[in-house]
Amino acid sequence: MIMAALEKEGVELVFGFPGGAVLPLYDALYDAPLKHLLFRHEQAAVHAADGYARVTGKPGVVFATSGPGATNLVTGIANAYMDSVPLVLITGQVASPFIGTDAFQEADITGITLPITKHNYLVKSAEDLPGILAEAFYIASTGRRGPVLIDIPKDVFDQEAYFNYNKECHIPGYNPTYTGHAGQISRAVKAIRDAHRPVIFGGGGLIRSGASSALRQLAEEAQIPVILTLMGLGAYPGDGELFLGMPGMHGCVTANYALTEADLIIAAGVRFDDRVTGKLETFAQNAKIIHIDIDPAEIGKNVLIDIPIVGDVRQVLEELLRKLKPGNTAKWLKQIKTWQNKYPIPTGVTGPDSALKPQFVIRELSRLSDDNTLVATDVGQHQMWCAQHFNVRKPCSFLTSGGLGTMGYGFPAAIGARLAAPESRVICITGDGSFQMNIQELATVVNNRFDMTIALINNGYLGMVRQWQDIFFNKRYSHTALEGSPDFVKVAEAYGARAIRAVNDKEATAAVEEAFATKGPVLIDFIVEPEENVYPMVAPNRPINEIITGGEY
């Protein structure tokens, strides 16, 4: 029955890990047309499903067993919830009569995941299953996307019931708004016409709603510069004429200055996260703000909004385009050019004997990639360097853990991306700390001979935390040196993957070229400058135009 439902939903691939409570489910899988990818840890399975969903736009489907199987999913679910990624997770549960008795491998996973799922279900009887499955897919993939979990007791798997599957669901309390309010759109049109210093400030909502071509058209027709959050990267080409970069804590100086000086901010699919706004009281004081978002609860949550528009970002932008009256932004664009020339993204100071710079590595990976490349990053300094230096050319091609900042996300997400887009090049850019949080998946990529470049930015530290200790704690490096890390080349080789080490610029370039030309998984261990910091930087809860440059300008 579950297999039939998945087939009706167009699911081709499931990510998972078996166990006692899902034996019947895995038995059904044995001769189902569905493909299943086996991981070495449930957390990796969810992150991979998440990566798959971010690339395809379709819900990623995960199977896991009861108890520890289910609890191992938790980080991945929270990660998907924060970044609005559609997932349908099916967990086994102990048999109904045992629920609530602390039975072997029992965990109240619907209780545990209550605050980190869009919705969840504990199935009472097989009769309810078709309705619940249809609802789960519908809820996960409409409105503001998110993870939905279905917990199925073992005895329910064994029940027989009539399979009547109806993909159309009517849920009385769930009616997402897609079309923007016409009156508000007209007000937005006027505000754009009258603005002298407008910026578009876009986020993950642009990606999820497929709004990038509408965004591009708006920016170009009205000559409005574009700022994208970490989650929005790719919605506008990274090398596009009007692109100012990422704002916020490690954002471009120009992006932060532009937000501070703007008289109009067109915020599209963003949630004004604290890493972006800095000190709220000083954020964009001179600007009128238009906020377009599918989730009404995001509007006015952190920042006061002048023109709220609840709706699907793509649909609203398209409607806006039909009525658009461009203003005159020439003078503003000139001001922005001046900032851009004065404050480029720092590439790190190099001397004749200086070690390999992480920024250089990211730039080489970017330079040698083409339009058809998917990048998944982990969390830390290397993630910020990717955001700053990797030219993200297309939407859905930059996968990163934005809201939760989950170390260990990148590698499995890259596996998901690999399966989602067989024609694309896939690069996982990770850190020596993050990689060790899901390093076991080397078995998965080797076993399946996945073409993938794993670029390990090896600085010997939990670099991002070390940087904070450097700047805010007087260089007291408490437990951030990764002593005892393995020889990553040997580890990769032990799993059966090709591995290369690079310690200088020349080797780095050669290694990337070789990896890109090689079939199967290749790990490059880039030994980089250990104490390189990410700049520019804004201290937490400070105004975003108060920039720590690290002596770069």
Ligand X SMILES: Cc1ncc(C[n+]2csc(CCOP(=O)(O)OP(=O)(O)O)c2C)c(N)n1
Query: What span, in angstroms and rounded, lies between the C-alpha atoms of 60 and 88?
Result: 6
Laid out side by side, the sheet with 288-293 consists of 243-245, 226-228, 198-202, 264-268, 288-293, 307-310
CA distance 157 to 22: 8
Q: How far is the CB of 271 from other proteins (least distance, A)?
A: 13
Per DSSP, the three-state class of 188 is helix
432 part of the interface to Mg ion, by CB under 5 A: yes
Which of 124/181 has CB closer to other proteins?
Answer: 124
Should residue 297 be labelled a site residue for other proteins when binding is judged by CB under 8 A? yes
Q: Is 479 exposed, middle or buried (0-12, 13-18, 19+ CB in 10 A)?
A: exposed
115 interacts with other proteins by CB under 8 A: yes
Q: Which of 70, 122, 258, 414 binds other proteins (CB under 8 A)?
A: 122
119 part of the interface to other proteins, by CB under 8 A: yes
For position 114 contacting other proteins by CB under 8 A, the verdict is yes
Q: Are the CB atoms for 211 and 234 separated by under 8 Å?
A: no
Least distance (Å) between residue 142 CB and Mg ion: 39
Among 7, 263, 295, 318, binds other proteins (CB under 8 A): 295
* CA separation, residue 7 to residues 3, 135, 166, 394, 491 (Å): 6, 15, 13, 30, 38
Rounded CA separation 531/328 (Å): 45
Alpha-carbon distances, residue 401 vs 58, 79, 129, 242 (angstroms) = 18, 7, 32, 26
Q: Which is nearer to other proteins, 301 or 367 (CB)?
A: 301
Q: At what angle do helices 358-367 and 505-517 cross, to 10 degrees?
A: 40
Instruction: Decide if residue 171 touches other proteins (CB under 8 A).
Output: yes
- Interaction of residue 174 with other proteins, rule CB under 8 A: yes
Q: How far is the CB of 83 from Mg ion (least distance, A)?
A: 22
Nearer residue to other proteins within complex by CB, 14 or 140: 140
Q: Which of other proteins, ligand X, Mg ion, none is residue 288 near (CB under 5 to 8 Å by kind)?
A: none
Q: Is 496 in the site for other proteins (CB under 8 A)?
A: no
b/e per residue, 363-380, with b = 16+ CB within 10 A? Answer: bbbbebbeeebbbbbbbb
* Closer residue to other proteins (CB): 122 or 244: 122
DSSP code at position 170: -
Q: Tokens in use for 219?
A: 């920016």
Exactly one of 459, 469, 480, 533 binds Mg ion (CB under 5 A); that residue is: 459
Considering CB under 5 A, how many residues would be counted as binding Mg ion?
Answer: 6
- In DSSP terms, which residues pair with 307 in a beta bridge? 290
Quote the DSSP letter at residue 461: B
Q: Closest distance between other proteins and the C-beta of residue 164, in Å?
A: 20
Cβ distance to Mg ion smaller for residue 317 or 442: 442
Does residue number 309 form part of the binding site for other proteins (CB under 8 A)? no
Q: Which residues are catalytic?
A: 42, 104-105, 154, 464
Q: Which residue's CB is nearer to other proteins, number 171 or number 349?
A: 171
Residue located via tokens 């932008």: 317
Q: Which does 172 bind (CB under 5 to 8 A by kind): other proteins, Mg ion, ligand X, none?
A: other proteins
Neighbouring C-beta atoms of residue 303, cutoff 10 Å:
18
Question: From CA 523, how far away is CA 235, in angstroms rounded?
Answer: 29
Contact 226, 360 (CB under 8 A): no
Residues within the interface to ligand X (CB under 6 A): 378-382, 405-407, 431-434, 457, 459, 461-465
Phi, psi of 155 (to 5 degrees): -70, -30
- With CB under 8 A as the contact rule, the residue among 65, 110, 359, 366 that binds other proteins is 110
- Contact with Mg ion (CB under 5 A) among 18, 431, 521, 543: 431
Contact 225/333 with Cβ under 8 angstroms? yes
Residues 6+ apart with CB under 8 A from 486: none
Q: How far is the CB of 306 from other proteins (least distance, A)?
A: 16
What letter would DSSP give residue 83?
A: T
**Considering the complex, what minimum distance in angstroms separates the CB of residue 86 from other proteins?**
14
Per CB under 8 A, 301 contacts other proteins: yes
Nearest to 305 by CA among 174, 204, 221, 191: 191
Using CB under 8 A as the binding rule, whether residue 125 contacts other proteins is answered as: no
Distance from C-alpha of 384 to C-alpha of 377, rounded to nearest angstrom: 9
- Minimum Å gap between C-beta 408 and ligand X is 6
Nearest distance from residue 398's CB to ligand X, in Å? 17
- The yes or no reply on residue 173 touching other proteins (CB under 8 A) is yes
Q: Is 440 helix (H, G, I), strand (E, B) or coil?
A: helix
Please identify, using beta-carbon distances, which residue of 93 and 459 lies nearer to ligand X: 459
Q: Does 532 bind Mg ion (CB under 5 A)?
A: no
Closer of 106 and 432 to other proteins (Cβ): 106
- Which lies closer to other proteins via its Cβ, residue 135 or residue 432? 135
Binding partner of residue 506 among Mg ion, other proteins, ligand X, none, CB under 5 to 8 Å per kind?
Answer: none
List of residues 6+ apart from 344 with CB closer than 8 A: none
Nearest distance in Å: CB 409, ligand X:
9
Interface size with other proteins, residues (CB under 8 A) = 19
Residue 524 sits in the site that holds other proteins (CB under 8 A): no
- From the list Mg ion, ligand X, other proteins, none, pick the one residue 434 interacts with, judged by a Cβ distance below 5 to 8 Å according to partner type: ligand X
How many angstroms separate the CA atoms of 519 and 515, rounded? 8
What distance in Å separates the CA atoms of residue 63 and residue 26, rounded to the nearest whole number? Answer: 9
Token couple for 519? 């079939």
Should residue 111 be labelled a site residue for other proteins when binding is judged by CB under 8 A? yes
Please say which residue, 293 or 378, places its beta carbon nearer to ligand X.
378
Q: Which does 551 bind (CB under 5 to 8 A by kind): Mg ion, ligand X, other proteins, none?
A: none
d(CA 227, CA 386): 16
Selected binder of other proteins within 10, 68, 97, 300 (CB under 8 A)? 300
Binding site for other proteins (CB under 8 A): 110-111, 114-115, 118-120, 122, 124, 139, 171-174, 295-297, 300-301
Q: Which residues bind Mg ion (CB under 5 A)?
A: 431-433, 459, 461, 463
